[in-house]
Every structure is written in structure tokens, then in C-alpha cells.
Chains A and B, each alone.
Chain A
């Protein structure tokens, strides 16, 4: 059995498993039988409708696993819709997912494997900026489009490569940081904001962005404090910011440590406006951070809650139908993951269709030829062009906060 067939068998196993999430005894039996059949089928000559494979490299395990799940769901729903309409180029789309464990070198390995062995037509990335930053050079070198549905690191799309294959349907740190600073000034009248940032590539990207944005707004920074992703007590850092006279805080970090920041503020009895990147959206922020969670305003590209657009309602209904595990709004909290990935998948399909081919360079140029796509987040008009690889911009950002387990837009 060749490596290829082995891979195929594993793929079928995965797609079957997604439908049989509850591991009943009968389910396992069926799963075994189906995977055997699928394996046999893979050996057979039937290759009439060879699927177009889309790769996904994201964290499926570990503390960012929830985001990986959201991205998978967004892609899965989009692929179902596309395949129901006959796929692209007359072939069905198929998702091949790999776990990067939030580790860049694992991500690089997975990306190579998907490109070189599974032969994907395009790659979708995950939540972690460091992983995406590691994959971009590979994608550029191997000429396969890489579309980011989440990681906001500025350098992912603005990577300086002559031949750039990195696209994004998500926020961009540099733009987010400008929006954060503008919001702090406008809403809270901040004069000397401080930063509390996670000590990784994402934090670093935002440090640059925030420093530049503050400079542009000619505001001084009270201080720049970092914490480790695993830290559980941020009182020391926050105490120094308070002593430096910070009148607002910019927060960058995933949901866990973001909650610790809020709790530490509570303990210190320091009531200060917190304007955050979208980390809190990655989980049950209000449960973790307690009542003060609602005071944190954070940026989003999309929310289901309070969204009256027909497209949003339809997608939510379809999601609930496809994934019975989704019962309430709280189960679609990383809505950005779902929405960005959903739109990204449709855009990829459109690009492939425009290219008329699955060859990387042609697909890349296909992205530039997309005219209009009525998406979930907005209606995209010529979303990409050479030198403009980000489909979303500041006009698409909304400020939100947690309310009863749901993310709602801040009404001003």
C-alpha cells in the first residue's frame, strides 16, 4: 500500500468520524466498516471525480483547540454548501486537517505534508501567528495560496516576498492597533495608556503596531508589560503600569491569560478601562474572568449575537443542523473563527473557479479576479489585488463585550 493510499484511508476515516462524534459501540463498528470500505475504494480505479483538497493547519489540541474547532466548522459548512452546488471545476471540495499543536515547527511539517503529499490546492491557517509566520515562507516557495482566517500578525500577509501567496480574511494587527488606540481616545479619553501583552510573536506584532499607532496619535505610553502565556498572576506587571500612571490598558492575549488580567485588576481594586484585541472571544471569557469581564471591550470582525442579517441567521441555522453539539450562542463564541473561515473557504472556491485550475500560481491570480462575493461578514467587492492581500479592513471591525455568555456589540 502506498503512502498515498494510506493518507487517503486516514482522510476517509476522519470525514466519517466527524459525522459519528458520539462514540457509541455501534458507531465504532460502523466506523470500522466504513473506513475499511473507504480504504478498499481508495485502492480501486474510480477516480472520476478526484476531489479538490483544501488543507487546514491549526491547533486541534491544546489550549487553542476551541479555535481550531470553530475554524473547522466554518470550513465544513462552506464546503457542504459548495459541494451541494456541484463543487468547483466539477469536482467536490475536500478538507484535510492537520493539528499543529500551536507549535510552528509542527505547523511547518504539516504544511509541507499537505502541499507535497496530499497535494492541496490551497492552505488555510489557524489562530497562532507564530505558526502562520512559519508557514508563509513555505507557501511562497512552493507557490500554494495560504489563506489566514484568524491569526492577525501583520507580517503574515505583508511578508515582503516578491511572489506573495499569503492572503487573509481576518483582522490585521497594525490596523487593529490603530482602531484600539482610536477607540481608547474616543471612548475613554485616554491620555497615557499602558500595554499588557502576551510574550510571543502575536504580542510582539501588536507591540510594534500599538507603539506606531500611539506615535501617530502623539500619545505617550505608560509602559509596556509582558506576561507568559502560562502566567497565572499579573498583579506585578499591572502594579507597575498603575504606578506609571496608566489611564487605559491595551490587552493582547488569549482568553485564559486575558481573564487572569481582569482577575488581577479586581484583586488590586484598580478600575481602569481595558481595550482588548480579540483574545477574549476565544472562550468563556465571562465565566473565567467573573463579573468584571463585561468591562473589557474587545475587537471583532463578526458576531452572531444581535446580528439580524439574513445571511447570519441562515448560517447559524445551518451550523446548528450540521453540528448538533451547538446548542446555544455560547457554543459559537469564537464567531470570528467560524465566520472568517466560512468566508475564506468560499473565496478560495471562487478563486479556483476563476483560475479554472488548481495550480498554485493560477489560483493566486484567481484571487485577484474575484469580483463580488456576498459573504457572511460583508459583501466583498474585489477583495484582493496585488499588494492588497487582506480582505477585511478597519471598517469591518466592531467593538464588543461579553454579556450573559454572549458576545454583543458595544452600543455607543
Chain B
């Protein structure tokens, strides 16, 4: 029981974390988030299915193609749903990305089809037994990928010139321009990276569950909750919050039953934010008067 809760919680949790990292990156660089992030999860899975099953591409190629598609989606979202509003000083990007998500979800519904499909993968062919619980190999791969991605991101931000450029844009976009940094392109890159992470999450979950035109919606909301709980400005916080969220969800389901999962989880969110208004590892801005 405990093993299955741990595996299930860590697996889903690292997925939430991966998607939430996408929220984190765009927020850190531009102060905006893409509320169509859930649709990017769907797109990753759907493209992967279409390339691998529909067109018969070899899996690595299909994965690469799907990730590229999601990165492109990020660019498009930034260009038409975010930038026009940010440049006019409007907050309407928030609703624009929500509307974009609705459009994309429905467009996928009509192109991909209305019924869920299964994405075959060698990693879910047969379960292996770990500590008395049956686990698909993919369930081990998922948290590894999730944590590796967050560590890599952290390393990029802390240790490379590119990371410093991203941080500079986040802290003061005008000053960054004066350093010769192309802020627009940087923000666009952040959205592409964000889309790519969501797509990766979609590809990883798809074989475990199923591919459908609406699979991403709930993941998107939960991942946003995770991003906020972790402190949307902190990559480490976001990933930790993801794991924690997954474990709490699995734990509550296992002990109290699934009916109370949502009630408990959403109460915890409100309580946690009331106690830590800037998230788990978020840093409060100094209250300068």
C-alpha cells in the first residue's frame, strides 16, 4: 500500500512539477503565465500519438517532433495571446490564454477525434515488482525525468550566461534591453521552453494512461496550483511542491477515499497560502515604502 502510494504520488507529482516549471519559467522571465499550459500537455500527447501511431515514425523521432510542436505552440501563444496585451500594459493576456486553451482543446477534439486512444510504449508493456507493488518501468522514469529537468533548469539559471540573461530580463526588462539583450526573443524562448516542458509531461503520461483531447485540462489546473504553492518564482520550490501535491493526493485517496481528495487538497491549498503567502520557497519582496 505504502509503496503504491509513494510510486503513484511521486509519479503524478513530478508530472505536476514538470508542467508547473513551465508556469515558473514564463512567470520568472516576463511576469505572465500561459493558462493554456494544460492544452500544451494534450498537444504533446496527441502529436506523439499521431506521429508514432498515425504516421508510424520511430518513437524517438516522434517524441522529438512532438516536443518541437509544443515549443512552437509556446511561441505562437506568446506572439498572439500574450505579447499584444503585455505591450499595451493590459492584464487581458490572462483571459486570452484561457480562450486560446479553449480553442486549442476543441481544435484537437475535431482533428484527433473524440475518443481516447492508447499510446503504446515498451516502458508499460509489463509491470515489474518493487517492494510488493506492481510498477511499470515508466513510473520510475517519470520522476527521474521530472527531477532531472528541474535540476538542469536550476543549473542553467544559476550557472550559465543564458541563465543570467533570463534572470536579468525577469528583474528589469528595460535595463536588460540596455545591455543589448533582445527581451522579446528571450520571453519568446521562455514560452517555447514552457510549452516544451508541458509537452514532455504529456508524452510521459500518455502511455501510462491514455491520449485524449481533454487529458491536459485538469493537469493544467493542478500544475498551476503546484506552481503557486511552491512559490512561482522558485524552480526548486515548484518541483518540491509538485512531489508534495502528488503524495498528498495519493495519500488522501488511499486513506480517506477519492471522494475527499479534492476537498482536502483544495483546503490545504487555501491554508498553505494563508500561512505562506509567497509559496513554499517563494521569497517575499522587501516591503519598501
B12 adjacent to A228 (CB under 8 Å): no
A284 adjacent to B115 (CB under 8 Å): yes
- Please report which residues of chain B, range 108-145, place their CB below 8 angstroms from some CB of chain A when the two chains form the complex: 109, 114-118, 127, 129, 133-136
Contact of A267 among B135, B209, B257, B258 (CB under 8 A): B135
Q: A61-B106, A62-B214, A231-B258 are in contact. Are A236 and B115 (CB under 8 A)?
A: no
B116 adjacent to A256 (CB under 8 Å): yes
Whole-angstrom distance between the Cβ of A206 and the nearest chain B Cβ: 15
> Does B5 reach chain A (CB closer than 8 Å)?
yes
Contact of B253 among A61, A65, A236 (CB under 8 A): A236
Q: Which single residue of chain B is at the shortest CB-CB distance from A65?
A: B114
B12 adjacent to A287 (CB under 8 Å): no
Q: How far is the CA of A237 from the CA of B254 in the complex (A)?
A: 6
1/0 contact trace for B251-269 toward A, CB 8 Å?
0011001110110000000
> Does A323 reach chain B (CB closer than 8 Å)?
no
B250 adjacent to A233 (CB under 8 Å): yes
Q: Which single residue of chain A is at the shortest CB-CB distance from B5?
A: A236
> Does B186 reach chain A (CB closer than 8 Å)?
no
Q: Which single residue of chain A is at the shortest CB-CB distance from B218?
A: A230
Contact of A226 among B1, B135, B210, B257 (CB under 8 A): B257
Q: Which single residue of chain A is at the shortest CB-CB distance from B252?
A: A236
Contact of A290 among B8, B118, B205 (CB under 8 A): B118
A225 adjacent to B212 (CB under 8 Å): no
> Does A397 reach chain B (CB closer than 8 Å)?
no
A255 adjacent to B116 (CB under 8 Å): yes
Residues of A within 8 A of B134 (CB): 266-269
Q: How far is the CA of A269 from the CA of B250 in the complex (A)?
A: 19
Q: A226-B258, A232-B205 are in contact. Are A256 and B210 (CB under 8 A)?
A: yes
Q: A61-B109, A227-B258, A239-B1 are in contact. Are A233 and B117 (CB under 8 A)?
A: no
Q: A233-B12, A283-B116, A284-B118 are in contact. Are A239 and B258 (CB under 8 A)?
A: no
Contact of A256 among B106, B133, B212, B253 (CB under 8 A): B212
A284 adjacent to B117 (CB under 8 Å): yes
Name the prevailing secondary structure of the A interface residues: helix
* Interface size of A in residues (CB-CB distance below 8 Å): 36
Q: How far is the CA of A108 from the CA of B250 in the complex (A)?
A: 35
> Does A353 reach chain B (CB closer than 8 Å)?
no
Q: Which single residue of chain A is at the shortest CB-CB distance from B260?
A: A226
Most A-side CB within 10 Å, residue of B106, B115, B218, B262: B115
1/0 contact trace for A59-76 toward B, CB 8 Å?
001110110010000000
A287 adjacent to B118 (CB under 8 Å): yes
A66 adjacent to B114 (CB under 8 Å): yes
Q: How far is the CA of A266 from the CA of B213 in the complex (A)?
A: 25
A236 adjacent to B250 (CB under 8 Å): yes
Contact of B4 among A69, A239, A259, A287 (CB under 8 A): A239
**Can you list 15 A-B pairs with a CB-CB distance of less than 8 A?**
A63-B114, A66-B115, A226-B259, A231-B258, A232-B12, A232-B205, A237-B257, A239-B254, A256-B210, A256-B212, A260-B209, A267-B127, A267-B133, A284-B118, A288-B117
Residues of A at under 8 Å CB distance from B? 61-63, 65-66, 69, 199, 225-228, 230-233, 235-237, 239-240, 243, 255-256, 259-260, 263, 266-269, 282-284, 287-288, 290
4 more contacts with CB within 8 A, not counting A66-B114, A268-B4, A287-B118, are A239-B254, A259-B118, A267-B136, A284-B118
Q: Which 10 A-B pairs have the closest CB atoms?
A: A65-B114, A236-B254, A283-B115, A267-B134, A232-B209, A66-B115, A66-B114, A287-B118, A236-B253, A230-B218
